[in-house]
Structure 1
Amino acid sequence: MEDVQTFKDQLALVNIQLESDKDNADLLTLKGELEELISLTEQAAAAAAEPKKSKGKGKEKEKAEHAANWQDSGEYRAGMDCMAKYKDGKWYPARINQVVGSQESPLYTITFKGYTSSTNVPVSSLRPHDPSAPIPVPVKRPAELSEREKEKKKRKGEKWMSSLKERDQEARSKQNSWEKFGKKAQKKGIHIAGLEGKSVFRTSDSPYARVGVFNSGHGMKDFDKMGKHKFARPLDEE
């Protein structure tokens, strides 16, 4: 494009000179040549720019398609078998369930062979699959661990029983103290109801006895006998 601008500047100078000398054959020839050069140069530049433009569009389209399907274009894809690094630092056979995260920082959801739980790991924790690698056997809970739990429950039960015994002993101690207090009171001639094991609401063996509070200090209450009610005839009816 710089050549085109140079040709245009030269053409402008030729036109200025032709204004004072319109019939100059050399200037007219030079003008025609410059106009032809400008036209050819512009056509060549347009032809060169068109393939670049279409090529750029193709690259953009390819880039967009790649960005849309980046999960399927990496080294590790969903459904592939691989070797994955475990917490203990060792590598075990695993299967990739899906690819998550972003194209810049992908994460791989894997399941170790022989297990059912899944976990997400970065690409640095993956290696190509090794068919000769043994499949790990799921670690069962050791028997001594259950024995520990049994021992723990046993100790907890013993502690609870000990607490019950302490509370029972405390209740018995209070009961004994109360009985001793009652016996001392009886020796002094003070009767405390309930210490002899007899109810304060007890009655005699007589079928005609009435219920009352024993040793309350009050006699039995007398009630008026209820007789048959007699209705008197009103005076107006006579």
Structure 2
Amino acid sequence: MKPPLSEPGESGPVPAEESAGQPPRFAAFKARLRANPKFLMWSGLGAIAGLGTLLLLWLVSTAPLGRALEPAAQPSLVITDSGGRAIARRGDYKEAPVNIATLPPYVPAALIAIEDRRFESHWGIDPRSILRALTRNVQAGGVTQGASTLTQQLAKTSFLSADRTLKRKLQEVIIAFWLEARLSKDEILTRYLSSVYFGDGAWGIRSAARVYFDTTPEKLSLGEAAMLAGLVQAPSRLAPSRHLEDARDRARLVLAAMVE
């Protein structure tokens, strides 16, 4: 028996999707997803990649790459005797940048040994150090170890604020990549040693050598170089002018790291 013909103006059976108020195109899209799960996967990956690209462009556009590479120290007042020898100082202290080629080899070696053992081989960040620090921090139930490379530290101190935000950390990574692409390893070390804070108002290793040992970086002994390298982790807490024993303990750790 033939089905009854529809009266003029009447429509045929309505699909379930359309009966639920969904447009035909959306219904076709859902059917395609059900028929091809890989399409859903690739669509999701494409969306994530697009969002990641937009995030990267935003971080790069807001990163202060035009800022000077060396932080300016506050003006200081140095009082000298008749022979030109400093006898008192008020405020931060900063001298001329160093030339790494004129330093004893153990000066940069001490810094690398305690702060960034894979400095010569990484490209701005150290995934192994990040994984190790993450594991130890999880085990300790808090932040007990960092994983910033020397390049990241230079990026933070020369370009960024001290804010502990995700945006600042991501910008730190981007600037570290930029520094590695723009500068040689020796140039990065030179800028780091010339600008990092060593405590007691001393910015840069030339100032630190003068403040703590009344000498120049070129004349530092191995023990003095180890002590200075140990200060950059916590300069206020380890400054030998106030915490000599703590500074000595840290220097021993540096020397041990140098022979590993």
- TM-score scaled by length of structure 1: 0.23
> Higher relative CO (CA 8 A, sep ≥ 6), structure 1 or 2?
2
- TM-score scaled by length of structure 2: 0.21
Q: Normalized per residue, which structure has more helix?
A: 2
